[in-house]
Structure formats: structure tokens, C-alpha cells
Structure 1
């Protein structure tokens, strides 16, 4: 599969409609940025029994959490960040649904609040994406528990499951969650190396995101997501 062609086609869809795709991506981008940048108390700080949360200043100075309560605060904050990370990922899946529609010529690129939360447009989208993601995580974890490389291979094999599941719903022929993962594995047969190399080709962009403290993500994440959406379309076209 020609990576240059995939990227050029992605940019041809993204660049003229960048304002639209950026706006529908904003909630996902902000949530993922928050979950990435917000500070966690270190394990050392937790066991030491002191954590200055957000350095909130009162008349008596910074608020300090001490003793047994520190673990409660740490666990609560950890749960909040994990929840926001998960929500950001789900919203980004919905954005990629919109990107696939755009690449297929099914979008008028007119912004609406619904497009920002497309994953909630239908209950099947949300529940399917959530449970398929859970299945992927469990199976990939079990493979990685044995060996790292097989886990990475399986992650790529299962990578198309959400898009397959959504297309099945839209075609009026819904499938089960495990069936979506199975079809993804079949679809990716012979293409896992292409997918891996495509991901590696964004290494320079990931470094740019790091250097710019995440500011480059405003364009890079939509560009990368659009390219991966295009990868799925090309795979389905080949299999048709």
C-alpha cells in the first residue's frame, strides 16, 4: 500500500476542511491533553504521606493532604484522569467516523455540536466502541503478557474493529463485538506490516508534538487520524 498516496489523499480531505475537523476534534484533543499533562503524585510522595494538591493557597498556606487520606485522594484523582482519557479516546473514535464519511464523500463539512460527539449519535456506536475497545485491551494484554512482539502484532490485527463494526451497523447488518474483532484480524491479514510502517512514518510528527509541548497536535492528530481512516478505506476497497 502506497503510504505517500494515503497521506496525500488524507491531506486533500483535511486541509480544505481543517476548520471543520479541528472543531469537531476539540473535545477529544482537550481531554487527551488534560489527561496527559495533569500531574500525578508520585508513588514516593504517596507513601511519604504528603501531597500538595495543585498548590492551592489558603490563609494558612498550601493545602497538604496527610496520613491515610492521601491514598484516597490519589486514587480518586487517578480514576478521574483515567475516565477523562477513556472519554477522549471514545470521542476521537467518533471523529474518525466523521473522517471516514468525509473521505467517502458523505459529509457536507458543516459544523454541528452533534459532530463533536458523534460517538453518542447512536447507542450502538458508543456501546460497541467501548466494549470492542475493552476486548482489544484484554486480548492484547494477554498476548503481551506472554511476549511483547506478539502483543504488538495482535494490536495491529485488531486495529480496524471499530470501523468494521460501525459500517456493519450503518449497512443494516449489525455484527457482534467479537465478530468485529475477528473481521479486523481477517482484513489485516497480509497488511500488518504496512500498518506498522505507516505508524512509524509519523515518528517525526510525534517528535514535533513533543518539542512543541503538544501544540503541533492541533494539526498532527487530525492528520494522523485522517491517514489511518484512509488506510481502512483502502483495505475495504481491496477486499470488495
Structure 2
């Protein structure tokens, strides 16, 4: 399990499918990020008013409600890229796979619970919060492979899978710092390529965690 191997797998999966990966990214994050801002702007009295003053409380509250309601899109995005990394056929509709089943409430529950858990751990210190975010990082992939698993079951399984591999995960994240800087200096344009590459690499990392579990039964210690 090397960082280079994860990224090579991601690039191989995206070969001849970059256009599809970019389109999925635009749709998923466009809806997830833009819609709550649009709602906040509308209920703040319009874009001109919203850009010049702090949004009123009701507008901010509605924006947060839409953020929560749309959060299962993140599950759909990660699940779709897991399928892409495995060489499976995918389409735009796969982004919305959580919206027509009980999976919606599981994906929503995972978003809410992991956010709460990470926040509570961060109250101790920033580092424990970051470490816990690593522990919970595989939940969407796990839920994709185990759709009948409960929310807490997926969180627990993520913690178990990541036992011994948080440092490797950190190094994988660290390897994308250059890409993150490129995205920043291009005002987000480069993120259209960086985000699919990053997400596919995370999917490749997850597949190797599962393979390690199947081959060895347990993980290593941190």
C-alpha cells in the first residue's frame, strides 16, 4: 500500500473518463455548495443586499437546512467514484442514488453524526478532532458496499478499518497539497481536475483497506 499506487490507480481509472469525472464534480458540488448560498441570498433580500450586509438569522438557518438536506449528494459522489475506480459503468444519475431510498436518511445521519463527533473531539484540541476525522473517513465507501449497515455500524467499521492506517491516510492527503495550492491560485478552476483525482485516490485507498482486512483479518497498530 503506497501513496503512489493509490494515485496511479486513480489516474488509470480516470483515463479517458476525465470529462465524466469533471462533469460529476461540477454537478455534485455545484448543487451542494451553490443552492444553500442561493437560498441565503434570496431570503436576505437579493444578491445585492446579501453581498453588502450580514445575512439575517432566518436566511442563515434556511441555508444550513438546505446544506443538511443536500448532504447525501456527498455520499452519491463518493459512491460513484468508488464504482469508477473499480471500472464499473457510472452516470450522472448515480450522484442521486441516496435520494430515492432509505439510504437518504443513512447518508444524512452519517453526515450529522460524524460532524457532531468531530466537533466534540475538536473541543478538546484540534489534533484529536483531525485524528477522529481520519477515523470516520471511510463511512461513505463502507455504506456503498454495505447498504443495509446502520449509521453507527458504518462509523464503527470505518474506525476499525482505519486502525493502523491513519498515518498512511494523512500522507495521502499531504501528497495533494501542491494540487490544493494550484486550485487556490487558479481561483478554483484547477479543482475541477484535482477533486476527481483526489476522490478516486481515496476510493483506491479504501479498496486497499478492504483487501488488507480480507487478507489479514486485522489492521496494524498506529
Question: TM bucket by the smaller chain?
Answer: 0.7 to 0.9
Q: Map of 1:142-181 to 2, 5 A cutoff?
A: 142-169=120-147, 174-181=148-155
Which whole-Å deviations, capped at 9, do the CAs of 1:142-200 have from their partners, x for residues lacking one? 1111122111111101111222122112xxxx222111111110100000011111111
- Structure 2 residue aligned with 1:47: none
Which whole-Å deviations, capped at 9, do the CAs of 1:194-231 have from their partners, x for residues lacking one? 11111111111111111111111111111111111111
* Count of matched residue positions in the alignment of Structure 1 and Structure 2: 211
Q: Structure 1 unaligned runs (5+)?
A: 42-50, 57-62
User: Is residue 54 from structure 1 mapped to residue 47 from structure 2 by the alignment?
Assistant: yes
- Residue 99 of structure 1 and its aligned partner are, at CA, apart by 1.4
Q: Map of 1:100-119 to 2, 5 A cutoff?
A: 100-107=82-89, 109=90, 111=91, 113-119=92-98
User: Which structure is higher in RCO with an 8 Å CA cutoff and minimum separation 6?
Assistant: 2
User: How large is the Cα RMSD of the aligned pairs?
Assistant: 3.0
SS in structure 2 of the partner of residue 175 of structure 1: coil
User: Is residue 76 from structure 1 mapped to residue 76 from structure 2 by the alignment?
Assistant: no
SS in structure 2 of the partner of residue 214 of structure 1: coil
SS in structure 2 of the partner of residue 105 of structure 1: coil
Q: Structure 1 residues 4, 225: CA separation in 2 closer, same or farther (over 3 Å shift)? A: same
Alignment TM-score, normalising by the size of structure 1: 0.76
> Greater strand percent: which structure?
1
Which whole-Å deviations, capped at 9, do the CAs of 1:55-77 have from their partners, x for residues lacking one? 37xxxxxx9x9xxxx88x52233
Alignment TM-score, normalising by the size of structure 2: 0.82
